Chain A
Amino acid sequence: MNRNYRFYLQLTFTIVVCAFLIVPVVMSMMAGVTENFIKGISSGITLRWIFEVWDLYRDTIFLSLLIAIACLICTIVLGVPAAYVLAKRQGRVARMIEELLTLPLAIPGLAIALALIISFGGFREFRSSWVFILVGHVIYTLPFMMRSVLAVLSTADFRTLEEGAASLGAGFWRRFFDIVIPNCRTGIIAGSLMVVTLSMGEFNITWMLHTPVTKTLPVGLADSYASMRLEIGSAYTIIFLIMIMPLLIALQHYGKPRSPNTRPVEDDVESPLPSTSGQRP
Chain B
Amino acid sequence: MSHSTAIRLDSCAKTFPNGAKALDPMSLTIEGGETLIFLGPSGCGKTTTLRIIAGLESPDSGGKVLFDDEDVTKLPIEHRNVGMVFQSYALFPNMNVQQNIAYGLKIRKVSITDITQRVNEMMEMMHIGELQDRSIDQLSGGQRQRVALARAIAVRPKVLLLDEPLTALDALLRERLRVDIDSLLRSLGITTVYVTHDQAEAMSLGDRIVVMDRGQVAQVGTPREIYFEPQGEFVADFIGTMNRMQGTVTDGRFQTRGGSLPIPHANEGPSNLLFRPENARIVPVAQAPLSGTVASVFFLGDKSRLIISGITDGHITIDAENSETFNPGDPIGLSVDTQHLLFV
Task: List the interface of chain A (C-beta within 8 A of B).
Answer: 156-157, 160-161, 163-171, 174, 178-179, 182-183, 185, 260
Q: A164-B90, A167-B54 known; 12 other A-B pairs, CB under 8 Å?
A: A160-B86, A165-B92, A166-B56, A166-B76, A167-B84, A167-B152, A168-B151, A168-B152, A169-B107, A171-B78, A183-B92, A183-B93
Chain A residues in 8 Å Cβ range of B54: 167
Task: List the interface of chain B (C-beta within 8 A of A).
Answer: 54, 56, 76-79, 81-84, 86, 88, 90-94, 103-104, 107-108, 137, 151-152, 155, 161
Contact A160 B151 (CB under 8 A): no
Q: Bound state CA distance, A171 and B76, in angstroms? A: 10
The distance from the CB of A189 to the nearest CB of chain B, in whole angstroms, is: 14
Chain B residues in 8 Å Cβ range of A174: 107
Main secondary structure of the interface of A (DSSP, over half): helix
Contact A168 B86 (CB under 8 A): no
Counting residue pairs across A and B whose Cβ atoms lie within 8 Å, the total is 59
Chain A residues in 8 Å Cβ range of B137: 260
Contact B107 A167 (CB under 8 A): no
Chain A residues in 8 Å Cβ range of B104: 168-169
Q: Bound state CA distance, A157 and B88, in angstroms? A: 9
Contact A169 B155 (CB under 8 A): yes
* Nearest opposing residue in chain A for B154, CB measure: A168
* Nearest opposing residue in chain A for B90, CB measure: A164
The distance from the CB of B67 to the nearest CB of chain A, in whole angstroms, is: 15
Do A169 and B94 contact each other (CB < 8 Å), given the known contacts A157-B88, A164-B86, A174-B107?
A: no
Give the 6 A-B CB pairs with smallest separation, nearest first: A164-B90, A168-B104, A182-B94, A167-B84, A169-B107, A160-B90
* Nearest opposing residue in chain A for B161, CB measure: A167
Q: Bound state CA distance, A166 and B88, in angstroms? A: 15
* Contact with A167, one of B82, B88, B93, B108 (Cβ below 8 angstroms): B82
Chain B residues in 8 Å Cβ range of A167: 54, 77, 82-84, 152, 161
Q: Bound state CA distance, A168 and B92, in angstroms? A: 12
Contact B86 A163 (CB under 8 A): yes
Chain A residues in 8 Å Cβ range of B92: 161, 164-165, 178-179, 183
* Contact with B93, one of A156, A169, A170, A171 (Cβ below 8 angstroms): A156
* Contact with A160, one of B77, B82, B88 (Cβ below 8 angstroms): B88
Q: Bound state CA distance, A179 and B104, in angstroms? A: 13
The distance from the CB of B164 to the nearest CB of chain A, in whole angstroms, is: 12
Contact A169 B81 (CB under 8 A): yes
Chain B residues in 8 Å Cβ range of A169: 78-79, 81, 104, 107-108, 155
The distance from the CB of A75 to the nearest CB of chain B, in whole angstroms, is: 22
Q: Bound state CA distance, A104 and B279, in angstroms? A: 73
The distance from the CB of A221 to the nearest CB of chain B, in whole angstroms, is: 41
* Nearest opposing residue in chain B for A174, CB measure: B107
* Contact with A168, one of B56, B155, B161 (Cβ below 8 angstroms): B155
Q: Bound state CA distance, A109 and B160, in angstroms? A: 56
Q: Bound state CA distance, A167 and B271, in angstroms? A: 50
Contact A163 B78 (CB under 8 A): no
